[in-house]
């Protein structure tokens, strides 16, 4: 798989449909910080979006989509000067998955929330801005609106296999937004995601993700990027924010953490499969990157899963 697919597979994104919103007249609604990523599409009408910690409000027009990537409170309003009501006032009495404010009729929005069942979601979220705004005139916006509409129907119609279909549509939406963001001329961030748009650095990242166990050296990675060793090292760190070998070690440890948390594989086996000749060398690298020993990490993650399962069974 390519690096972006690798990371999303590691994070295990899951989607949960949110109630739609129908509004009319003068209105404003305050929403609490979402758990995970919040994705919405404006089906009709327009509104203002204000996000905690972001200086300027964003005007959302019919057909626009937006992604909220951090846990921040936000407000949707017909006018920023209107006094807002808490979202639970109308969402607690939503019917057929639709919350209504002032009788509706002028504005309609549907959305979805993504959470990550895998750990280390900061590998993606930390390098994204608080808001990713997809304007209606983008080809991507049409795909996103269609996917969100299909996902909502699958979850509400109760057809066989509907939940799995909805999950696939959710993944399509998330991937489309990320593709659009990194291709945007305004996206000039530092990190592995933005570096994928650089053909040469992307080739090196792809090689590391495809075969993390290989005995990569700075020279062999530079050759993949068709660059001299010194130029590659400088260019990689400028684009990614980490030196090549540091990035490789971090990726190996993230893969290791996922396997320790989700399988019964022995630590020595995980170490060997990721290119480490000894368990002790692997454990030293793991603790440096992840902040605890491999055994402690696996035990803590499995204990957390058991707690979540017990809560879900109540």
Q: What is the DSSP string of 118-171?
A: SS-THHHHTTS-SEEEE-TTSHHHHHHHHHHHHHHHHHHHT-TTHHHHHHHHHH
- pLDDT confidence of residue 118: 66
Q: What is the pLDDT of residues 176-211, one digit of tens each?
A: 878 877 877 666 678 898 898 899 999 999 999 999
- pLDDT confidence of residue 308: 41
Q: How confident is the model at residue 14 (pLDDT cuts 50, 70, 90)?
A: confident
236: left (phi over 0), alpha (psi -120 to 50) or beta: alpha
CATH value of 7-183 in 3.10.270.10, 2.60.120.280, 3.40.50.300, 3.40.30.10: 2.60.120.280
The DSSP string of 174-240 is HHHHHHHHHHSTT----SHHHHTTSHHHHHHHHHHHH-TTS---HHHHHHHTTS-HHHHHHHHHHHH
- pLDDT confidence of residue 313: 37
Spatial contact of 79 and 26, defined as CB atoms under 8 Å apart: yes
192-304 homologous superfamily: Homeodomain-like (1.10.10.60)
Dihedral, CA of residue 84, residue 88, residue 89 and residue 93, to nearest 10: 140
Residue 86 has a CB neighbour count (10 Å cut-off) of: 12
Estimate to the nearest angstrom the gap between the alpha carbon of 252 and the chain centroid.
Answer: 20
- pLDDT confidence of residue 298: 82
pTM score > 0.75 for this model? Answer: yes
* Average pLDDT of span 101-119: 84
Q: What is the pLDDT of residues 39-59, one digit of tens each?
A: 888 989 999 999 999 989 999
Please give the structure tokens belonging to residue 142: 């049409």
Alpha-carbon distance 196 to 239, whole Å?
A: 9
Residue intervals of the chain classified under CATH 2.60.120.280 are 7-183
């Amino acid at each position: 798989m390519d690096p972006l697919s690798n990371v999303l597979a590691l994070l295990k994104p899951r989607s949960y449909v949110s109630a739609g919103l129908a509004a009319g007249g003068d209105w404003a609604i305050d929403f609490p910080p979402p758990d995970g990523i919040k994705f919405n599409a404006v089906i009709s009408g327009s509104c203002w979006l204000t996000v905690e910690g972001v200086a300027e409000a964003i005007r959302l027009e019919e057909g626009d989509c937006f992604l909220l990537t951090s846990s921040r409170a936000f407000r949707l309003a017909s006018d920023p000067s209107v006094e807002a009501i808490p979202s639970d006032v109308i969402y607690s009495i939503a019917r057929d998955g639709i919350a209504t404010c002032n009788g509706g009729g002028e504005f309609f929005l549907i959305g979805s929330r993504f959470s990550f069942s895998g750990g280390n979601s900061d590998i993606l979220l930390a390098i994204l801005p608080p808001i990713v705004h997809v304007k209606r005139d983008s080809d991507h916006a049409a795909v996103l609106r269609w996917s969100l509409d299909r996902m909502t129907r699958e979850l509400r119609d109760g057809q066989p296999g509907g939940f799995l279909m909805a999950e696939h549509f959710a993944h399509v939406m998330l991937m489309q937004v990320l593709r659009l963001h990194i291709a945007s001329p305004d996206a000039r961030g530092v990190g592995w995601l933005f570096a994928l748009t650089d053909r040469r650095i992307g080739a090196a990242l792809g090689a590391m993700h495809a075969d993390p166990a290989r005995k990569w050296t700075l020279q062999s990675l530079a050759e993949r990027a068709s660059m001299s060793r010194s130029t590659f090292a400088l260019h990689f760190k400028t684009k990614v924010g980490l030196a090549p070998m540091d990035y490789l070690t971090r990726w190996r440890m993230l893969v290791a953490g996922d396997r320790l948390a989700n399988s019964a594989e022995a630590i020595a086996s995980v170490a060997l499969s990721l290119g480490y000749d000894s368990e002790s060398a692997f454990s030293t690298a793991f603790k440096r990157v992840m902040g605890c020993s491999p055994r402690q990490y696996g035990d803590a993650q499995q204990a957390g899963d058991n707690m979540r399962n017990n809560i879900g069974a109540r």
